[in-house]
């Protein structure tokens, strides 16, 4: 009987030590992360949904992305660099006036717990271009203004939202979590 009591105490001590180590490691351990590919896919879907809503509302503008490239944690910094290429078209008088665009912005990923969503904030315009076969000339002033509007729109649209139908994501949404930028991914971590 005495041997059982010693084994039970030893087991309890080992389990308590394990639990303390596990709790201490929670701040650095991230069981859930979001990849660059997932964010790129979500951004493509956001633009597709936006375009559909614009067309349904009768807007003559259409928007499509041919490329969405997101780089997380470049050079070890806590930022995301978003490079977009696509086409904006004005559909007027039975004709389409296409304009190709390229936009490159850098921003800080921010998790909004109340909305259970990740936004890009403090966006900085890195590069932008507009090209069309229908007009030429110096478009830099126009391009910069249009791209600033697009960059501001990006700040209001989440690049990722936790899926409430997914049990693991719903649990993360109920806990005090934050995100950390790591090379190639965003990691959910316990808030400090």
Query: Quick one: 154 and 80 in the same domain?
Result: yes
Range of the domain at 23: 1-30
CA angle 116, 76, 22 (to 5 degrees): 60
List 65's β-bridge partners, or say none. Answer: 86
Query: Quick one: 41 and 25 in the same domain?
Result: no
Query: Quick one: 118 and 78 in the same domain?
Result: yes
Q: Who contacts 117 (Cβ-Cβ below 8 Å, separation ≥6)? A: 111, 158, 160, 161, 162
Phi and psi at 150, nearest 5°, equal: -65, -45
Say which CATH number the domain at 100 has: 3.15.10.40
Query: Quick one: 47 and 106 in the same domain?
Result: yes
Query: Quick one: 15 and 38 in the same domain?
Result: no
Q: Give dist(CA 84, CA 105) in Å, integer.
A: 9
User: Which residue, chain included where needed, has tokens 């006036």?
Assistant: 97
Query: Quick one: 76 and 154 in the same domain?
Result: yes
Strands, E, within the chain: which ranges?
33-35, 61-72, 80-92, 95-112, 117-131, 160-161, 177-182, 185-190
The structure's pTM equals: 0.76
Query: Quick one: 157 and 100 in the same domain?
Result: yes
Q: What is the pLDDT of residue 72?
A: 97
Query: Quick one: 121 and 142 in the same domain?
Result: yes
Residue-wise pLDDT tens for the chain (192 aa)?
454 455 555 555 445 444 434 444 444 445 689 999 999 999 999 999 988 998 899 888 888 999 999 999 999 999 999 999 999 888 877 788 888 888 888 999 999 999 999 999 988 888 888 888 776 555 566 667 766 777 778 788 999 999 889 888 888 788 888 899 999 999 988 887
Query: Quick one: 81 and 122 in the same domain?
Result: yes
Query: Quick one: 112 and 154 in the same domain?
Result: yes
List 117's β-bridge partners, or say none. Answer: 112, 161
Which residue from 47, 181, 52, 167 is spatially nearest to 106, judged by alpha carbons? 181
Query: Quick one: 26 and 101 in the same domain?
Result: no
**How many distinct structural domains can be found in the chain?**
2
- 174 alpha carbon, distance to own chain's centre: 20
């Amino acid at each position: 009987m005495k041997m059982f009591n010693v084994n039970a105490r030893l087991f309890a001590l080992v389990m308590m030590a394990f639990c303390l180590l596990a709790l201490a490691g929670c701040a650095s351990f991230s069981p859930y992360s979001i990849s660059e590919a997932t964010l790129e896919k979500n951004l493509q879907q956001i633009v597709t949904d936006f375009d559909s809503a614009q067309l349904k509302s009768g807007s003559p503008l259409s928007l499509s992305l041919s490329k969405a490239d997101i780089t997380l944690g470049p050079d070890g910094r806590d930022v995301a660099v978003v490079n977009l290429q696509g086409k904006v078209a004005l559909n007027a008088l039975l004709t389409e006036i296409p304009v190709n665009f390229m936009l490159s912005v850098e921003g800080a990923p921010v998790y909004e717990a109340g909305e259970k969503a990740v936004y890009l904030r403090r966006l900085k315009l890195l590069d932008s271009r507009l090209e069309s076969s229908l007009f030429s000339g110096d478009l830099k002033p126009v391009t910069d203004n249009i791209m600033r509007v697009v960059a501001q729109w990006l700040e209001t649209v989440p690049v990722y939202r936790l899926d409430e139908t997914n049990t693991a994501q719903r649990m993360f949404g109920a806990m005090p979590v934050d995100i950390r930028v790591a090379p190639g991914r965003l990691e959910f971590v316990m808030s400090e």
